Chain A
């Protein structure tokens, strides 16, 4: 029963011994109405999972967040192993391409996208790193925890896009997209107890405008 507090105390003790300062987590306004409404901003450092089938609006949401960062003059990295991101589409969503670094590793069996993501997140040069996982890929637990440590180290928000939720990912926030809505599934920062539960969405918000401009 008392294992979790003991472990936390032990970690704090180790940090104190090593002279480390506890990581200060905060929420940074994303500039996207739906995200800020649901979360009060993106966790930084932290990992946000955005899951949903292709075409459901997850990339649109990530681009809206990236647009806000790049318009402020901040650099954003986009790891795109599937080579799917369409820069004219990103520009149409307001992303300043001068501040967008796209990384397209070619798969060779050694998961170069994972290495590249960790390097970008750890470097601290990018306040936002987006990893767009192709549908067939998941994230191994060891890699996922490497992302978490790297995000803490780099003071960065890692936004992971996937077609389905990845249990292995130690995400601070889990969002999903579908039916034109952005759904908050879990938010570790708000209520840690919810992290242990499975299930029901916490809240939802409409996604930004689609290409039909609201007309049928």
Chain B
């Protein structure tokens, strides 16, 4: 397996418009003071390194530009960069805060080889305004070490090649491990690679052994293709060759969610919004975004939230086509929040009111967008189609000038619309056939459909009062033209809305 790593030493400042040569630093509140959290190489050369307070930085370099950290914007930029690099590989992530990892084993051939792929990556990053150094190697950490220590912007390490004289510090050992290496004079990867495996494990533990394997050119890897430093970009995936059913997806979902939650737990984060991606046979994707009401790492809660949306993912948007085989199920964290836990309390402590847009978004995510709406009336005669669904809340009202009433057509329509026509409060999703006896003027006895009759079953009921007919005609150009005669009939305390068309009588609603 081959990995391309793009090292972006000044990413956090470059995205703010400050190149590597400018004296600029990123500041944020850390340990009760405003401190530098990142700086350009030029600023770092002047001693403006992470941890230095803002006032101290201004004292040392009066001309330094201090930029407040905008974490949300930075996350967005990282995501945008990953999306762009997905043009080169479908497995891209920020493996480290300053480096992007792309697994290119399967895709490099498409772009003309590893070198051509790396050149394209460089060009792509340059188009975003980032100076990068790119390396390709078997192991991502090995590639990062080569990228950070090489003078050339691009370097390819052949498969299985050891890192050689690359400094050990480039493998980013922990401070204690770095000190332990230094004590015995280990400074290069070649020196570490030459040691006996057993003695490395005994002296430096699992971390030391892992770095030794990387130094020897062996692949250790990052495990699941995830971004381990920016939790909002964590994603996990599993192959599902040929799966077509909901059951197959639900079978693997808990395990995959568990893996995702463990990754998030490493960062003490919880899911706010999750994207479920089905990669279908042929490469197309179906995507749905799921938002949970409260940040959570609970697998059952996440599973519950996803379960309702899986059907919409599997269903063929076109209609009756057979299901397309699924190649892969992927879960991506779109938004995360610090995990603060939740103590419900014995009496439900009051919480802040949830903003309406958030509430609507959650309801839409959970129930489907079409399930949450504001009804709007439409100027049509057919009762079923004289309203439509719009987003809630309504946009700000715009005052329209009144229509001129001297136009006879407008005046007539206005009079018609003002007529007090009875409309039921409940309308059946579909009219249901029923039996009606008339007395020459209108309905006299009614036998309701089985679905709406009482326990005793359908029986003839006398009409106590009636109002009608209201005749609706139209849509003569379409099949199933509208040709109905509506009546409101009182069936002893219950008032039904029924109509007669060429096919017979139907129950359409209730004046409930």
Contacts and interface: CB of A to CB of B under 8 A. Distances in A.
A125 B353 contact: yes
Nearest to A150: B348
**Which of B466, B467, B509, B510 gathers most chain A CB within 10 Å?**
B510
B368 interface: yes
Interface string B494-512: 1110000000000001111
A194 interface: no
B287 interface: no
Contacts of A119: 293, 359, 362-363
Given A14-B347, A86-B424, A115 B493 contact: no
B291 to A, nearest CB: 12
A59 B497 CA distance: 15
Interface stretch (A27-35, A105-113, A166-174, A197-205): A105-113
B371 A105 contact: yes
B359 A123 contact: yes
A202 to B, nearest CB: 20
Contacts of B427: 84-86, 89
Contacts of A68: none
Interface residues of B, number: 62
Given A90-B425, A179-B493, A97 B512 contact: no
B262 interface: no
Contacts of A84: 426-429
Interface string B480-492: 0000000010110
B460 interface: no
A66 B348 CA distance: 28
Contacts of A6: none
B363 A102 contact: no
B308 A112 contact: yes
B422 A123 contact: no
B362 A54 contact: no
B223 interface: no
A115 B305 CA distance: 11
Contacts of A104: 367, 370-373
Contacts of A59: 425-426, 510, 512
A54 B426 contact: yes
A14 B346 contact: yes
B367 A178 contact: no
A20 interface: yes
B363 A98 contact: no
A108 to B, nearest CB: 6
Interface string A47-76: 000000111111110010000000000010
Given A54-B510, A57-B512, A87 B349 contact: no
A101 interface: yes
A133 interface: no
A191 interface: no
Contacts of A102: 372-375
A143 B422 CA distance: 37
A152 B363 CA distance: 21
A103 B367 contact: yes
A55 B359 contact: no
A101 B392 contact: yes
B349 A20 contact: yes
Given A54-B426, A108-B308, A124 B353 contact: yes
B143 to A, nearest CB: 46
A86 B426 contact: yes
A147 B421 CA distance: 37
Given A20-B350, A123-B359, A210-B511, 18 more contacts: A53-B493, A54-B426, A60-B511, A86-B425, A89-B423, A97-B374, A101-B373, A102-B372, A102-B374, A102-B375, A108-B308, A119-B293, A123-B354, A125-B353, A125-B359, A210-B495, A211-B511, A212-B495
18 contacts: A14-B346, A18-B346, A18-B349, A55-B495, A55-B512, A56-B493, A58-B512, A59-B426, A86-B426, A101-B374, A105-B367, A106-B368, A120-B363, A123-B359, A153-B348, A178-B493, A180-B493, A210-B511
Interface of B: 293, 304, 307-308, 311, 345-351, 353-354, 356, 359-360, 362-363, 366-368, 370-377, 383, 386-387, 392-394, 397, 421-429, 452, 464-467, 488, 490-491, 493-496, 509-512
Interface of A: 11, 14-15, 18, 20, 53-60, 63, 75, 83-93, 97-106, 108, 110, 112, 115-116, 119-120, 122-125, 149, 152-154, 178-180, 210-213, 215-216
**Closest 9 interchain pairs by CB?**
A55-B494, A87-B375, A86-B427, A59-B512, A211-B422, A98-B394, A124-B353, A59-B425, A84-B426
